[in-house]
Chains A and B, each alone.
Chain A
Amino acid sequence: MPKRTDLETILVVGSGPIVIGQACEFDYSGTQGVKALRQEGYRVVLVNSNPATIMTDPDMAEATYIEPLTPEVLERVIARERPQALLATLGGQTALNLAVALAERGALEKYGVELIGAKLESIRKAEDRQIFHRCMQELGLDVPRSLAVSDLASAESAGRELGFPVIVRASFTLGGAGGGIVYHQGELLSKAQAALEMSPIHKILLEESILGWKEYELEVMRDRKDNFVVVCSIENVDPMGVHTGDSVTVAPVQTLSDRQYQEMRDDARKIVSAVGVETGGCNVQFAVDPGTGRRVVVEINPRVSRSSALASKATGFPIAKIAAKLAVGYTLDEIANDITKATPACFEPALDYVVTKVPRFAVEKFGEFALDTAMKSVGEVMAVGRTFKESLQKALRGLENGRKGFESARAASEEDLMKGLATPSSSRLEFVKAAFERGMSASEISKITGIDAWFLNQMEELARFEARLGREKITAELMQEAKRLGFSDEQIARARRTKAARARALRHELGVRPAFELIDTCAGEFESKTPYFYSTYAGAPSLAPAPSAPAKKTRASKSRRVVILGSGPNRIGQGIEFDYCCVQACQALREMGQESVMINCNPETVSTDYDTSDRLYFEPLTLEDVLEILDFEKPLGVVAQFGGQTPLNLARPLAEAGVRILGTQPKAIDLAEDRRLFGRVLKSLKLLAPRSGIAENPRQALAAARRIGYPVMVRPSYVLGGRAMEIVYDDASLKTLAAKALSASEHSSLLIDRFLADAAEIDVDAVSDGKDVFVAGVMEHIEEAGIHSGDSACTLPPHSLSPKVLDAVCRATRSLALKLGVRGLVNVQYAVKDGTLYVLEANPRASRTVPFVSKATGVPLAKIATAVLMGRPLRRLLSAKLLKAPPRLPYVATKEVVLPFIKFPGLDPRLGPEMKSTGEVMGLGPDFPSSFAKSQEASGMSLPKSGAVFLSVKDEDKPALVPVARELLRLGFSLIATRRTKEFLARHGIEAAPVAKIGEGKPDVADLIRQKAVSLVVNTPSGKRERADGFIIRRTALELDVPFITNIRSCQAALGAIAAAKATSAAGQDARPLQDYYRDLAPEIRAARAGRGMRVQRRPAAV
């Protein structure tokens, strides 16, 4: 069936800020979908609150709304744009839930909007676990026994009936949020309560436990003619009980026979037909009893998902793109396979390699957590190898967590080892390795871990071989076998007690080099036209005519090629923002007539979509892997400044290996990153920095701190995201901290700075070509310095800085960029205290705020930087006016962050110098209060308009509390406070109702929060002597979804926002597309937007 001609405008909904369980894979799918719809000639209207996405780039959709993802806002957008259809299957659980909400409030019917991609009926069938279970039983399929409950009493009896352990699951939630494993009656009530809270429909399911069963996923597609394909089958290495998002997973399925697999496929087909998935992709999850083969259905997701992104990357089959086409009427046989260009999309990819995905956890931020049914990982690495062994080792070294492959946990005791095996965690594979080293057998380990013996046998081979590596003489054969098994040069070096460079040199001498093979969807059966590669050492040395013809052909000739190093797995501090920059760089190179070559190992990203760059290498970002690609590609140069700290750290060793780094040189990077050198630069420019010192051991640290004066800020060098950073108030805490921090950084030195208390913080993004500097955005943080810039809200333009300070900031940025020798992007962070400007740090690379600045100003910063890297002078790219002063905006943009605290029980939800946020949103408005209000709404913080506010602030904030309290009263709120705060307020003539401190009577504060008698909690933790009750207050508010603010400046901004919200009419603020905002920009900004001076000079067309 051809595409539908009755549709003209289609509304696409994105997934909002990056949160655990819903990350940049939805930018990848959304971008693909939007592109596909536009190619088909539809007008696309897009709504997504996340500015760091490629999909919200203003030339992707016709109308781009960076607005809060709420039913109200969407309804306003629908009223304004009048789309005929809504495509909600590309934006994760968020978009799907919004579609249901819009349908339920009658908005779709009112405006005649058709839900495409998935029908309401199907969404309900798939998402409501109870309806789904009934549907499965009608099909004769097996599901775990389960009971739905919506109150605690019935939860209790259900628990008794099903027996323990029992699984708690909430409907319509994401990443297993709210769910968990309950081992005994004792913990059932609290977990059931929490899950009920999290379910938007206040319904949960208690389910028979099938912990330890084998877990599988099928990524399928179905069209309206009932054509059905399984794009990819995935097997979890971690058995049931560990969320698939947290499991090591492998594609294709490894341990099922054809008959077993085809029966599973038959089930999947039955399920999607019954649920009514008929125009898109769907993920179907199964569990199989390893002893009997009994197969049960776990769940389905009738939309694109994290797994579908993985499946697309693993097979070359673009699920989201094809889902979008199916949604507008095409059938699978009418769509071509992009990779071969010759065969249709209606087929099942055949793999001749193995794909392994390994999750990345934020252990360095939140500690080790036992894994369960609720997802906790923040990113993932995908690796491709000919065998599981090769791909597993590549994935593990791609994680960038210090491990260079399949390595063991450091000196675990017998007891630790057994515990490490039995409890799923981010380091379980390290315990598995340790167990092999201790002589345990695969079958013993399988019994303890539930990991299938097949995987363990493979791992055992690795452990065995590693022992040989340390013992035997290295011949070409042994080296080849080591590499075939995926051992990195570093692992080989470690086994031989030598340096990686030596191991590499030896390997080259022995002639052991990788082949670059194609991901071609068809196992080599057809010629593939899309250059999408992975490296492998599986090619056994063959005696006569080397069977390597295709490898040669992939080598393009002339070097117009530029290699862009990606940012690897998402982690806190390095996520989608950097991928955004890499993608823009690819686009810019294409516009300039250059070829882009992308290297990255993160399957969730747009950068690893095969049509983002001209050539894509799905490889770990280690020196070894990058060098081999460069040697094969022979590019003009390498771009290391867009992917965050990962490529920046590679710049020096690459340069030492003779690679040409485009843009800022390693020497300049050192100038900025080495505190001593940087200090000298600042001095020469007469710029101030907080007093500071460097220490290499705890003793030096103490001395430095005493000289500088407490409080001090302590941090290791060469890390991103404020890892192991802390504010220290005395000797004792400094001693413990120094010991801990010195182990977090490979370049073990500690930077100790005077902590600037109560200072305003400023972030600046700029581009320099060595002559001119374009200061693109000066952002003022809402929170004071001391709260990591990645966790602060900020506004563009600044909302309170004086023109004098602003001017000083611009001047300082310019002189710094020039002095450091920046070519390309630079980010500088400042603090202003008592009118004095201090430089906190300069990062000679793209920063987290580049997408925000680009969206806010409309100037594509990363693209301009790319042009500069390629030698275009800024003067040709931008008008003289922009080179003098930052773009002036006739509106205000505010960035707000989202935090993952809810996923980590027991964690204090407070901010500090160590970054913890996972994502961000942007709010646009005519002024600061309105844009701040929008940013809050978009980040999920629903500021109350009335009710009681509980106040409890640290002493330093007391003076600021008085006006805050008065304003709250003026806005019609009532106040609640504990005794001391109440007395303090009373002294200023402000009345507050009393409440008992925790443990000092009933009801206490926490009780009030639990009873929802409080509509807002303001609690600012003291740095020095934080008491335990502050933690309980914040945590209770968090878990009960009561808005809470932990910072006095945010509180002030929030009051402004509440006032603004109260002032606007009931209809709320207008939703306005970016393209509309941009129309009000000055002509020189619009010219910069259009990319003046970027495009290749085209020869005039012959007439």
Chain B
Amino acid sequence: MRQAALLVLEDGAIFSGRSCGAAGEAFGEAVFNTAMTGYQEIITDPSYMGQLVAMTYPHIGNYGVIPGDEESDQPRLAGFIAHEICAKPSNWQSAESLPDYLSRRGVVAIDGIDTRALTLRLREKGALRGVISTVDLDSQSLLRKVRQSPSLIGADLAQAASCPKTFSWSQSGGAESWRLAVMDFGVKYGLLRRLAALGAAVQVFPAVADPRDVLAFSPEGIVLSNGPGDPAAAGYGVAAARAFAESGIPVMGVCLGHQLLALAFGAKTFKLKFGHHGANHPVKDLETGRVAVTSQNHGFGVDTESLPKFLRATHKSLNDGTCEGLAHAELPVFSLQFHPEAAPGPHDALDAFARFAALMAERRRRLASHA
């Protein structure tokens, strides 16, 4: 029998289950994710920093852990919750079972709980702070600790999620025809992979890098990456976004990057009740009328009402109507709230990368004709 574990939420809900990873105590904001595959990508996605992620799909770990399917160099979420985590995976690529991986990488995880009940609670009450513990099994003591733990509102996590110093992302194959700078607020490898696949030399900069240093790299395009936390707390990111946008270099913002761009242009962001976390979110491209089934992971959103005249909403969530994409009227700047790189999720929105490349090509043509 595996060791007992408890999940306690700030509203006093207590779920008892079994430990399925490392021993310890993990605090964070409890959110649910409805993707039916892709737990490995989710566990390693830096945007989940500070969160306890509950998978709504009951069987997790079926195909084990697959080398090459991680989204960063290590698990990033605060803790992991599932109904049933599989200890005997089956897949030709599997290298390790999920429980072994979680223990080895120090992730506190719990299974054996009614994740649907948890999900309905979060849906009703919004994201709640919580704790998973395998060491303290006194629910009252845990509840006290949860109530003292910090909230994600106002939390700047992007710095912590970012790389400590600049590096170049290398990926085999293809000529490198573009020079790209990526601002790392907790970037997913998936985004870097897709950018490199455009045929780009990708240089990754820390979240707090001086925009001038980035511009000194003379990028032909700049990407503001995804990342965890409250965008409003990442003032350095907002400043950088503004600097880049004004440089005339094509800028693409993804997820947190999208929110930072919106803030840079004076729009407002807000906390969603329980966020969008899943791989089945329909997003309508308001320009083409086409719908993409997208991968999403965000707890904050851009307030469409607050958009300045020169920012136009280009995409909209068909589930709740929230803003899913922005474009600047004059500057070569656009951003997306969802994850065009998917990982996990459907590859319906990959055309965003072509769109970005088109902006860069356009700029190159213009510069050439000026010269």
Contact = CB atoms under 8 A, between A and B. Distances in A.
A343 B120 contact: no
Contacts of B279: 258, 348, 350
B88 A457 contact: yes
Given A524-B56, A524-B123, A539-B117, A255 B17 contact: no
Contacts of B289: 225, 333
A265 B346 contact: yes
A732 interface: no
B318 A540 contact: no
A229 interface: yes
B59 interface: yes
Contacts of B92: 290-293
B236 interface: no
Interface in B161-214: none
B91 A346 contact: no
B90 A452 contact: yes
Interface stretch (A116-124, A547-555, A1019-1027): A547-555
B114 to A, nearest CB: 4
B29 to A, nearest CB: 17
A255 B64 CA distance: 9
Contact of A542 (B13, B58, B278): B13
Contact of B34 (A255, A259, A525): A525
Contacts, number: 198
Nearest to B36: A252
B119 A347 contact: no
Interface string B94-134: 00000000000000000011111111110110000000000
Interface in B245-279: 278-279
Contact of A387 (B59, B290, B291): B59
Given A347-B281, A538-B58, A542-B14, A523 B91 contact: no
A353 interface: yes
A interface: dominant SS: loop
Nearest to A550: B120
A42 B71 CA distance: 51
Interface string A311-350: 0000000000000000000001100000000111011111
A136 interface: no
Looking at A230, A352, A523, A539, which has the most chain B CB atoms within 10 Å of its CB?
A523
Question: Which of the listed residues A252, A387, A522, A524 has the most CB atoms from chain B within 10 Å of its own CB?
Answer: A524
B191 to A, nearest CB: 15
Interface in A519-547: 522-527, 538-545, 547
A347 B90 contact: no
Given A352-B57, A547-B13, A333 B120 contact: no
A421 to B, nearest CB: 18
A592 interface: no
Given A387-B84, A454-B90, A540-B16, A258 B69 contact: yes
A525 B274 CA distance: 9
A60 B124 CA distance: 40
Nearest to B143: A544
B284 interface: yes
Given A343-B318, A457-B88, A540-B112, A350 B57 contact: yes
A852 interface: no
Size category of the binding interface on chain B:
35 or more
A803 to B, nearest CB: 65
Contacts of A539: 114, 116-117
B93 A257 contact: yes
A523 B346 contact: no
Contacts of A538: 58, 83, 114, 116
B347 A547 contact: no
B62 interface: yes
A314 to B, nearest CB: 12
Q: Which of B12, B116, B346 has the most CB of A within 10 A?
A: B116
A228 B348 contact: yes
B293 interface: yes
A227 B16 contact: no
A262 B347 contact: yes
A262 B346 contact: yes
B282 A547 contact: no
Interface stretch (B148-156, B337-345, B356-364): B337-345
A517 interface: yes
Given A454-B90, A457-B90, A538-B83, A266 B63 contact: no
B249 to A, nearest CB: 31
A255 B291 CA distance: 28
Contacts of A544: 12-14, 139
Given A344-B282, A347-B318, A453 B88 contact: yes
Contact of B90 (A332, A343, A453): A453
Nearest to A545: B13
Nearest to A266: B347
A254 interface: yes
Interface in B70-92: 83-84, 86, 88-92
Contact of B117 (A255, A342, A442, A548): A548
Contact of B121 (A349, A350, A442, A547): A547
Contacts of B57: 252, 350-352, 523
A388 interface: yes
B41 interface: yes
Contact of B91 (A256, A541, A548): A256
Nearest to A547: B117
B119 A258 contact: no
B55 to A, nearest CB: 9
Interface string A233-249: 00000000000000000
B219 interface: no
Contacts of A387: 58-59, 83-84
Nearest to A1: B289
Nearest to B37: A258
A141 to B, nearest CB: 16
Nearest to A453: B90
A523 B120 contact: no
A386 interface: yes
B59 A526 contact: no
A253 interface: yes
A567 B32 CA distance: 38
A538 B121 CA distance: 16
Contacts of A266: 347
Contact of B346 (A252, A256, A348, A545): A348
B141 interface: no
Contact of A254 (B17, B59, B113, B348): B59
Nearest to A461: B88
Given A255-B91, A293-B92, A343-B319, 10 more contacts: A257-B40, A258-B35, A258-B37, A258-B38, A261-B37, A266-B347, A343-B318, A346-B318, A348-B293, A539-B117
5 contacts: A259-B69, A348-B279, A542-B114, A542-B117, A543-B139
Sorted nearest first, the 3 A-B pairs with minimum C-beta distance are A547-B117, A258-B38, A258-B344
